[in-house]
Every structure is written in C-alpha cells, then in structure tokens.
Structure 1
Amino acid sequence: MAMRDVTRREILLAMEEYDRLGQEAFLARHGFARSHTYRVAHDGRAYDSKAVVGVAHGYLPGEEPLRPDQFSGGHGHALDVLRRAGFTIVSQTADPLTEDKLLALMGKVRMSRSSGRPAPHQAVALAWAFGRARRGEARLVPWSEAEKEIAGLLKEHATDGGRPRPDYPVAALTRAGLWELPGWEGEVPPAHGDGELRRWFAERQPESGLTEEVYEAVRRSGTTRVAAVNLLVQRYFPDDDPRELFQAVGLWDDAVADDAPDATYEEAAPGGEGGDTAALYRRLCESVEHAEARNGRGRRAQRVRSDPIRSALARRAVLARCGGRCENPGCAGQPDDFTRRGQPLLEVDHVDDLGLGGRDHPETMAALCPNCHAVRTRGSRAGELRAVLLAVAEERHRQLYGER
C-alpha cells in the first residue's frame, strides 16, 4: 500500500476519529503538530491536513498510520491526496506571497551571464516549475525526474552555449529563496564550480521544486502567473523570442491568465498592493509595450503570432483602470450581480479591432458590462459606440499613464 491508495473513505474515517477525540488528543495520539499552512475543510469544519492523511493511511487494510517524518504535508503528498479525494484545501498563511513580493524576490536573483548576455538557465528551471504549478502537479519531485526534465528543456531552449546542467540554476534559485530542497540539512554548495555541486546532488538525490508560497502564488492567481512569466521574458530574453520554451512547459496559450478554481477573488483581483491603481496601470502598460516591441509593434498581422502574455497583461490593466465599472459613459445599468467568484460582470473589448490591425494595448481597449459589450459588437449603434469608447479609453489611459 502507498499514499496513492488512500481514498475518500479512509479520509472520512480519520475525520470521524478526529471529531471523536478532539484536535489536541488526535494530534497527540498520532504524534502530529498543528497545521500552520493548510487545513482541509469538510462539513463546515477544518482539520489538520497532514495529520488526517497520515491517520487515514492506517485505515487501509493491513496498514498502520504514517508518522509525520514518513511523508510531506505539502503538494506532491498530503495535499494531492486530499484534492484527489475531492476535499477543499484552506490556506492558513497569515501573510501570503503577493504578486509584488514574488516579482521582487525574482528580481533579486543574481543572473549569470554568457558572452555578455543573460544566461537563460534559471528562467528555464522556473518556467518548468511554473508550468507544473499551473497544472496543479506535484510541487516536489525526485531529483532524478527534475534533473531529466529540466536538462531536456535546457538542451532545447538554452542556446547560449552553456552546459545543460540543472544543478546550477536550482542551487542559485534555492539560495534566492524561490526553490526548496527539503529534507537535507546544511547549505547547498555555491552555484559555480563543477565537481562539488554535481556530487552534492548525485549523493543526496533531494526532492526539488518551488517553495510552498511561490508554488501557491503561481498556481492560484492567473495574473500573478502572467506577471511572473513576463518578468522571466524581460530579464532573461531581452533580445530573443522565448515562446517555444513557454509553449513547451504550458505557459503560452489563451488561458494562461485563468485563475485556479479554488482561488478567491481577493487573490485574483486586478488591484495593486497598497491600492495604487495608477502605479499598477503604468507598470502593466510598460510590460505590454515591451512585448509590443518584441513582437513587431503588436500588430496582429500574419507574420506576427498571438502573444497571450501581452494580451493578459493588457486585459488586466483595463480591469485595474475601470475600478470594477463599465467604461461606457452611456451604460444603461451594469448588472448588480457578480460572477460565482465575486468578480464584477465585465468583459474586456478590443474597441480598435485586432482583426483590422488594432493594437493589443489598454489605450484601445475598454471594460464593458455584458449589455454594452453586445451593443458594441452586434448593435445597430456599434459604430457610434466605438468612437465614444476609443475616446474614453484614450482619456483614461492618459490620466493614469500620462503623455508618452
């Protein structure tokens, strides 16, 4: 038997024992500590996630409960078992990693350079891990698996002439606080040299992956995910087109900015930390324009392919700018209802149609309620409304971004 054999039946039996004994007695009986990061919710109650899974293992035929040191309570172990069985995971992190904090952490990573250009090895490793997070795959994987997969991506997409050695970028990212090698005491050797670092990984064969808070930030919030990918593009590929790398890891498609089903509105909301809408809007517009320059002025011509990262950043900028309200000054009444996740019922429209050569840029886009969006696209007054919305978008863009 293994953890993958634990089903909803065994978990419910463990929860019944938890309820019967109470939290303190249950944890003491099986040697677990309280969960500080995640709990599992069921019937209006919250349970210590790792303890419940460990005890559930003991309800398998012929098996004993697992001890805390026999498995991980995070992704790849306990949380995956609970999600697979249909339970909801509740984050208990008092200060979750915000988008701004993640970008700041990524920006402090000391990049290596090859021939005067940024070496892409760290970006390749992070792209691999971000793709796993987006798909909800195990956060931590055996080093043999991580090494093989990252090395394959390095051979294919790191064209700077460097060796496809995953241990170099992983060591650097671990020291920067983005990566985790749990279960091994002592510092990882510096991410340079050769023999010592290779031996360290070969002898220990550690599990490897993003830290829990980085994994959760990228997994849950589509806007955070897009911002992180965009930063990788800007820092590590200033003169190259990295879309094949991001396509390979599952981070370059029209749904890349979608939130995880269990993300809350607060996690996915397009507001900036500290509520500075103008600063957030300027930052997003600068990222869009950086992508425009990379992709040939952003025109949707046949020679220029779609850039979902640019599109996602532009859409988020418009939603931040509108403040949750329809941008049609003649709106007859935005619906009072919200989406199932508590978001305003708004759709972002390319007023200057992409199919006719329009820009994928907030200056020519507007946030519209479903009624106004229908008028703009199918109504008899679509032409009049188009002119009004272009003027509104340009004026609001100038107010927040300034003259360029």
Structure 2
Amino acid sequence: MALADITGAEIIKAIEECDRLGRETFLRTHGFKRARRYLLSHNGRLYDSKAIIGVAHAYLLGQGPLEARAFSGGADHAVALLRKLGFAIVDSFGAEWEAYEWLLSRLDELKVNRSSGRPLLYQPIALFWAIGRAYRGEARILSWTATEEAVRSLLDRHGMRGERPRPDYPVAALYHVGLWELRDHSDSVPTAHGDSALRRWFADNRPRGGLVESAYDLLHRSGEARVAAIDTLLSIYFDGLDYGPLLHDVGLYDNEIADDLTADGIEPLSPVITAAQYERLCRIVEHQEGENRGRYTPDTSYNPFRSGTARRAVLLRSKGVCENPNCTGQPADVTAKGTPILEVDHVVDLACGGRDHPSRMVALCPNCHAIKTRGRSQEELRAVLLEVARERHIHWITIKDD
C-alpha cells in the first residue's frame, strides 16, 4: 500500500465510478461507510473522502482497492492527501449545520393549503413517510407505483381534515419547494393545483422520486434534525389532532428517534456545540409538553417522540458517564460497539407524576439504575439524583454563555 502513489487521475476515476454506481452501491461494493465529517467536493457534488481514496488505489497499475481498515480517513491521512492533490474538502460539521438550517427553513415556508379553514395534511403525511424511510435507511428513490400506493394508503387512514387519497398533490408541491426529487419524466412538473391535468401527468410520466439527497442524508444521520423537522410539521399542521397513530404508522413514534446514526471514527463534539444541541432538544421537548400537549394527543403520560428527544438530550449532557455522583459500578465500560453502557431514567416515574423532561431525567449505569429502581437506598438516591438532574440541566442550558 502506498497512498503517496495516488494521483489526481486515480481520484477522478474513483469519482467517476461512484457517479456510475451511485453512492450507496459504491460504498457497499467496496466495504466503506459514509464519511461522517470530511467530504470531497468535486464539480458541485460531495463524495466520501476515505472511500474515494480506497477505490482510487485500485486504479494504480497492478494494485487493488484498499480495505477501509487498512488506512485512516482523518485529517492527517486521506484528507491530507486529497488536499495535497488540489481537491476541495468540506468539513461536514459546518455543512451539516447549513443543511439543518436549510431544511427547517423549507419546512417553515411550506405553502399551507387551508381551503377547509384549517391546514390540510397532504404534505406532512408524505413527508413523515419519507422521514421514516430516511430514519431506517431505506431506499431514497422509489417508483411512482410504490410511492403512490404508500402515500395514498396513509392519506386514506390518517387524512383527518377531508384529504383525498391523492399522492400527486403533496409530491408536486414538495417538488416545487425543492424538497422532493422527480426523475424519468419528459414534461415539466405541473404545480399542485387543479385535478385531472395533475392526475394525468403523473399517470403518463410515472416518475421515480423521493426526498432530495441532502435532506435524506441529514434526516438519516442526525437525530436532532429528525426531531426538529417532525416538531416543525406538528406545530404547523396538527394543532388539535392526535398525531400518535400517524407517527407510529410511519415508524417515527420511537424512543430512539432522536439518536444519531453511529459510525466509526466520530470525533467528540466540543462542549459549546453539545450545549447548543442540548438546548435545542430541550426546546422541542418543552414544545411537546407545553400548553398544546393535550390538543396534540390524548396520551400525555407517555409519548415516545417526546421521550426519545428528552433521552437524547440527557445522553448528550452525560458525555458517556453515569450521572450518579456516588457511582460504584463500571462507569468507564462500554458496549461491544464502543458506546457507553447507560440507561436514561425518569427520577420520578411518569406514573407517579414525573416529568418527561431532561431536568427530571438522568443517565445511569446499570448498577446505579438497579439501585434507584429497587435498592434499599433508593429513596435517598432519588433525592440526590433530582438535584443532580436539576443542576446539570441548568449548567448545560447556560454553558454557552460562559
């Protein structure tokens, strides 16, 4: 293996192969994962920097592709080589924040159909379906037949304001605001107005489509972006409606909904970034449990979407360490995947009047969790943990001002 032998010509060949195969097939074929931080920018498109280097090696005379484990993709290795060869590198921490802001601004600016006097649910139902697919890592681009059947069924079951089972309405609307991609059509896409002409266009063209790639990738990776997008749509469209069955149906009513996609080699976030994330997640939790909570859903004691968001905030705050100040377990141990062995728990159970909020929740190792749940000293520990949760919440809300 000699990374130094790779030139710009081999990099271009690897890029061209990625373009031919498509990103997912390219990565799967060569055994690489998506880059979490550093991306190669070329002709307006982004590529996984480590995978490009690994495949470029195969274009050297007499060589084959490198395995992902054979070299580092970090700033001092693969990224340094690409920069030396004159290629532009994008730090996806900054790029991800821009994508996050872009996505939420698009959702905030959706043209809401209020022909019935209240916002119709065509667009959010289609978006929730697509967000669920992104969350699970399912195919981004589908045939029109598959999209039509899935979205029609959801509209039929969850259209609570007189929506007709017409998937062409939301897909056309989302296409024109830049959130949906449509392929394989010969005519320009009509606006989401009228009736027979719109129906006929989709019947004649049968375009493949799905969320635009930047939104799909962000919603797949980032739990914070996922819950922020869902909360934005709920606040615009679902006042007074029980959204639980819809979120459950599309796979978004989940305690892990706010978790990030784990990947090898993720660099730890700085305390300031973590504090900002913590604050944003808390705002979503508070919006969900606020004065509109009872109008959103009758299930006010347990809501997996709200609980999952609060759980993620607590895990961020804990930085992988048990929050019991007197922990005697194995707080430094990790799972086989390298993640902390922590369980997020309500200090006071919801059934006993506890609050689904990070200020009343803690991250505990299994031993401390068992003591808190059934230990002889559980009452004393609960009192300690209540104060710990309160103090840590205040600290992380205010740390950005330090």
Tell me if TM exceeds 0.5. yes
Q: Which runs of 5+ in 1 are unaligned?
A: 1-20, 36-47, 54-72, 300-305
What is the aligned counterpart of 1:313 among 298, 302, 309?
309
Amino acid in the other structure paired with 2:143: P
Deviation at 1:270, TM superposition (A): 11
The yes-or-no answer on 1:49 pairing with 2:18 is yes
Deviation at 1:214, TM superposition (A): 1.5
Match of 1:180 in 2: 181
Amino acid in the other structure paired with 1:200: W
Amino acid in the other structure paired with 2:371: V
Match of 1:298 in 2: 300
Match of 2:83 in 1: none
**Kindly tell me: are residues 170 and 320 of structure 1, through their superposed partners in 2, closer, same or farther at Cα, counting changes over 3 Å?**
same
Amino acid in the other structure paired with 2:352: L
Deviation at 1:310, TM superposition (A): 1.0
**Kindly tell me: are residues 187 and 271 of structure 1, through their superposed partners in 2, closer, same or farther at Cα, counting changes over 3 Å?**
farther
Match of 2:283 in 1: 283
What is the aligned counterpart of 1:89 among 17, 33, 52?
33
1:365-376 equivalence runs, <5 A: 365-376=361-372
**Kindly tell me: are residues 136 and 297 of structure 1, through their superposed partners in 2, closer, same or farther at Cα, counting changes over 3 Å?**
closer
Deviation at 1:122, TM superposition (A): 0.4
Contact kept, 8 Å, 2:362 with 2:385, in 1: the verdict is yes
TM-score by length of 2: 0.70
Distance 2:221 2:383 in 1: 37
Contact kept, 8 Å, 1:288 with 1:313, in 2: the verdict is no
1:241-252 equivalence runs, <5 A: 241-252=242-253
Deviation at 1:356, TM superposition (A): 3.2
- For these two proteins, the number of residue pairs brought into alignment is 335
- State the Cα RMSD in Å: 3.6
User: Aligned residues: percent identity?
Assistant: 44
Match of 2:52 in 1: none
TM-score by length of 1: 0.70
1:23-34 equivalence runs, <5 A: 24=9, 34=15
Deviation at 1:24, TM superposition (A): 3.8
Higher mean alpha-carbon deviation, 123-132 vs 183-192, is at 183-192
The yes-or-no answer on 1:327 pairing with 2:323 is yes
Look up the SS of the partner of 2:345 in the other structure: strand
1:108-147 equivalence runs, <5 A: 108-147=109-148
Distance 1:143 1:254 in 2: 31
1:19-65 deviation line (CA, Å, top 9, x unaligned): xx99847976xxxx826xxxxxxxxxxxx4344x4xxxxxxxxxxxx
What is the aligned counterpart of 2:380 among 371, 384, 395?
384
Distance 2:369 2:270 in 1: 20
Look up the SS of the partner of 1:200 in the other structure: helix
**Kindly tell me: are residues 296 and 149 of structure 1, through their superposed partners in 2, closer, same or farther at Cα, counting changes over 3 Å?**
closer
**Kindly tell me: are residues 154 and 285 of structure 1, through their superposed partners in 2, closer, same or farther at Cα, counting changes over 3 Å?**
closer
Q: Which runs of 5+ in 2 are unaligned?
A: 1-5, 40-45, 47-89
**Kindly tell me: are residues 276 and 219 of structure 1, through their superposed partners in 2, closer, same or farther at Cα, counting changes over 3 Å?**
closer
Look up the SS of the partner of 2:15 in the other structure: coil
Contact kept, 8 Å, 1:288 with 1:314, in 2: the verdict is no
Distance 2:379 2:391 in 1: 19
Match of 1:42 in 2: none
Deviation at 1:189, TM superposition (A): 2.3
Contact kept, 8 Å, 1:257 with 1:312, in 2: the verdict is yes
1:220-239 deviation line (CA, Å, top 9, x unaligned): 33443333333322222111
Contact kept, 8 Å, 2:185 with 2:206, in 1: the verdict is no
Contact kept, 8 Å, 1:288 with 1:361, in 2: the verdict is no
Distance 2:278 2:303 in 1: 24
Distance 2:220 2:235 in 1: 21
Amino acid in the other structure paired with 1:168: Y
**Kindly tell me: are residues 310 and 177 of structure 1, through their superposed partners in 2, closer, same or farther at Cα, counting changes over 3 Å?**
same
1:52-102 deviation line (CA, Å, top 9, x unaligned): x4xxxxxxxxxxxxxxxxxxx256xx36xx64x683333434345444543
Deviation at 1:340, TM superposition (A): 5.4
Distance 2:105 2:195 in 1: 29
**Kindly tell me: are residues 210 and 23 of structure 1, through their superposed partners in 2, closer, same or farther at Cα, counting changes over 3 Å?**
same
1:277-301 deviation line (CA, Å, top 9, x unaligned): 56425423323424744345833xx
1:186-238 deviation line (CA, Å, top 9, x unaligned): 75322223344333323322111011121122223344333333332222211
Q: Which ranges of 4 or more aligned residues in structure 1 deviate by more than 6 Å?
A: 25-28, 269-272
Contact kept, 8 Å, 1:363 with 1:394, in 2: the verdict is yes
Contact kept, 8 Å, 1:325 with 1:334, in 2: the verdict is no
Deviation at 1:114, TM superposition (A): 3.5
Match of 2:107 in 1: 106
Contact kept, 8 Å, 1:265 with 1:343, in 2: the verdict is no
Contact kept, 8 Å, 1:220 with 1:263, in 2: the verdict is no
